[in-house]
């Protein structure tokens, strides 16, 4: 049995390991044929502030966990066996009573998966918050810098993905993200490339809270915006805070996207007239939802000169996640 287990671990290593050097590789599986049966236990086992990237290989299975990668557990790559079969799920939501503290949870504590550390990579996973129509319920909450998600499925309803903190740079490639309202929201600089974004209700896709000093907020490259059947009133975004920045480039937009495209979020007494400071723009999008002539008058269509600055390295101020 030990020989079989050793062969299994070696095979996983060759299948999953990329060109980056790992100082340690550990495995997680529900059937105990691995180093750990819990992803959180695997994270906890790693050396604090380790010398190089640690690799956690996760076998297919449903992992009912609320996961946190604290700031001192940096440089970790968590790679699932199959994005549709390696599932991390929880059901917390804003307003739910926390069984440990007996206090109500908030949006910021409702997460299924929290990333506080820098240099974290996730690949081939489904991260889900099962709660729907009970309040804000975050699936993935990211605060760390230089975060990379590849082939990740983010499932939820309101507030599925929280791209937190203005110091955070986040890159999402070939991901699937679904939700109802403001299901991509936050302060971070985030790039989404070749991602599928699915609306589950007539509402808003993004709610950026970009800080004033940031040149970029959300940038979508070559993505696809889809929706549940019969949806016809979906906005590309609305500004959570006044200096929100969101840009869609070469994106396929379904007919569910309203011609006006953008919403100004009226009724916020503390932050009135947010559309006067927000920056919402598009460039050469396509599909039935692409209506540049009918967009909100305070939004923009990028010129050939303006589009030149929208490169990965420029958006991320020198960091290129594709080189990882």
Of 31, 98, 159, 273, the catalytic one is 159
Q: Are 263 and 293 in contact (CB under 8 A)?
A: no
Nearest alpha carbon to residue 74 among 141, 150, 168, 145: 145
Long-range contact pairs involving 139-142 (C-beta distance under 8 Å, separation at least 24): 139/111, 139/112, 139/113, 140/111, 140/112, 140/113, 140/115, 141/108, 141/111, 141/113, 141/114, 141/115, 142/114, 142/115, 142/168, 142/170, 142/188
E-assigned strands of 137-234? 140-142, 147-155, 161-163, 169-173, 176-179, 184-186, 189-193, 196-199, 204-208, 218-221, 224-227
Q: Are 116 and 141 in contact (CB under 8 A)?
A: no
| 48 classed as catalytic | no
Of 31, 82, 119, 182, the catalytic one is 182
CA pair distance 93, 132, nearest whole angstrom: 9
Q: Are 134 and 93 in contact (CB under 8 A)?
A: yes
Which is it for strands 279-283 and 300-301: parallel, antiparallel or unpaired?
parallel
| 182 classed as catalytic | yes
Q: What are the helix (H) ranges across the chain?
A: 2-16, 39-45, 312-315
CA dihedral 44, 48, 53, 54 (to 10 degrees): -30
Active site residues: 159, 182
């Amino acid at each position: 049995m030990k020989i079989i287990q050793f062969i299994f671990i070696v095979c996983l290593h060759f299948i999953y390991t990329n060109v980056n050097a790992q100082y340690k590789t550990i495995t997680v599986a529900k059937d105990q044929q691995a180093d750990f049966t819990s992803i959180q236990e695997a994270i906890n086992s790693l050396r604090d502030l380790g010398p190089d990237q640690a690799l956690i290989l996760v076998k297919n299975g449903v992992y009912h966990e609320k996961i946190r990668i604290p700031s001192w557990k940096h440089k970790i790559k968590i790679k699932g066996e199959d994005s549709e079969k390696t599932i991390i799920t929880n059901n917390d939501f804003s307003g739910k009573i926390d069984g440990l503290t007996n206090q109500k949870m908030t949006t910021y504590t409702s997460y299924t998966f929290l990333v506080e550390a820098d240099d974290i990579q996730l690949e081939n996973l489904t991260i889900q918050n099962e709660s729907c129509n009970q309040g804000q319920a975050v699936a993935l909450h990211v605060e760390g810098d230089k975060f990379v998600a590849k082939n990740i499925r983010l499932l939820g309803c309101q507030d599925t993905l929280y791209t937190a903190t203005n110091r955070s740079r986040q890159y999402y490639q070939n991901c699937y993200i679904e939700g109802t309202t403001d299901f991509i929201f936050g302060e971070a600089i985030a790039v989404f490339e070749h991602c599928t974004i699915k609306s589950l209700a007539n509402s808003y896709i993004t709610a950026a809270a970009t800080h004033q000093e940031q040149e970029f907020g959300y940038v979508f490259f070559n993505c696809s915006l889809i929706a549940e059947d019969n949806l016809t009133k979906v906005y590309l975004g609305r500004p959570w805070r006044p200096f929100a920045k969101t840009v869609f480039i070469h994106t396929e937009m379904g007919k569910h996207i309203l011609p006006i495209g953008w919403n100004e979020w009226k009724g916020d007494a503390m932050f009135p007239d947010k559309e006067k400071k927000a920056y919402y723009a598009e460039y050469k999008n396509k599909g039935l939802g692409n209506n540049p002539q009918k967009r909100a008058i305070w939004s923009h269509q990028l010129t050939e000169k303006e589009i030149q600055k929208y490169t990965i390295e420029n958006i991320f101020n020198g960091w290129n996640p594709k080189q990882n």
